[in-house]
């Protein structure tokens, strides 16, 4: 990943997506019925076993990429068990992370969050804190339902509860997410921020490029 050369996000939207409220209301009224993939279920059972054995409150690090953020969150929250999740298997290397960083209060899992979040809600395996750091922005208007707040799984994300923190270099994504939460009778605060220490590769890259960073906070 080259540093100090991040491009600004380009979108064909003038503001919040014109159909966002309609999309969110539809998802809130109609439960997500897509079948759970067997691989997702097997991975969830692995996490369930770990959580049961360790007995610590849990933190979700969703869309964790290579797992740097998961390791850093584990260091920042030693009394918690941090679960880093990403759909891309080649980004995750469990053994390397454990060996290099010497912390044992985390695990990394390749999974489809559309499945995992629903399974966690069903099993009431709920995080005390939930981080979604620099999710794929899907900036084209036609891709709004690929953003987490426009996706069918959004009600499950809310049902996970806990203290939610989302970060992005595209404020519109967070403003849309806050509006979607408002439609679901939840409140969020979106603000500019400067992390003292970057905890993800993207965060380091965006800071080095001089881009403004933004944070959404919500207590669900």
**Token duo for residue 200:** 């993800």
Confidence of residue 2 (pLDDT cuts 50, 70, 90): very low
Residue 151, number of CB atoms within 10 A of its CB: 21
Confidence of residue 90 (pLDDT cuts 50, 70, 90): low
pLDDT given for residue 93 in this prediction: 59
Residue 99 has pLDDT above 60, yes or no: no
For residue 65, give the nearest of 80, 87, 43 by alpha carbon: 87
pLDDT given for residue 7 in this prediction: 73
Would you say 76 and 101 are in contact if contact means Cβ atoms under 8 Å apart?
no
Terminal-to-terminal C-alpha distance of the chain: 34
**151 vs 89, more confident:** 151
Residue 3 has pLDDT above 90, yes or no: no
| High-pLDDT (> 90) share of the chain, % | 80
**Token duo for residue 61:** 């690090």
Residue 156 has pLDDT above 80, yes or no: yes
pLDDT given for residue 95 in this prediction: 42
**Token duo for residue 31:** 């439960």
For residue 163, give the nearest of 59, 72, 66, 74 by alpha carbon: 59
| Helices 113-123 + 38-54 axis angle, to 10 | 50
CA angle 154, 93, 105 (to 5 degrees): 70
For residue 165, give the nearest of 145, 195, 137, 190 by alpha carbon: 190
pLDDT given for residue 132 in this prediction: 98
């Amino acid at each position: 990943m080259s540093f100090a050369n991040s491009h600004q996000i380009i979108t064909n939207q003038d503001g919040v997506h014109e159909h966002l409220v309609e999309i969110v209301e539809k998802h809130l009224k109609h439960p997500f019925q897509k079948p759970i993939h067997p691989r997702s279920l097997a991975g969830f059972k692995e996490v369930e076993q770990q959580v049961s054995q360790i007995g610590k409150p849990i933190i979700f690090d969703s869309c964790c990429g290579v797992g740097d953020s998961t390791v850093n969150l584990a260091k920042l929250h030693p009394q918690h068990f941090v679960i880093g999740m990403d759909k891309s298997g080649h980004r995750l290397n469990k053994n390397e992370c454990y060996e290099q960083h010497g912390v044992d209060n985390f695990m990394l899992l390749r999974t489809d969050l559309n499945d995992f979040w629903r399974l966690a809600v069903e099993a009431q395996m709920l995080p005390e804190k939930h981080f979604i750091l620099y999710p794929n922005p899907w900036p084209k208007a036609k891709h709004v339902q690929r953003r987490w707040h426009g996706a069918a799984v959004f009600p499950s994300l809310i049902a996970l509860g806990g203290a939610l923190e989302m970060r992005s270099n595209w404020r519109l994504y967070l403003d849309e997410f806050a509006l979607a939460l408002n439609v679901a009778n939840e409140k969020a605060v979106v603000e500019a921020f400067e992390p003292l220490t970057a905890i993800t590769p993207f965060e380091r890259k965006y800071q080095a490029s001089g881009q403004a960073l933004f944070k959404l906070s919500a207590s669900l």
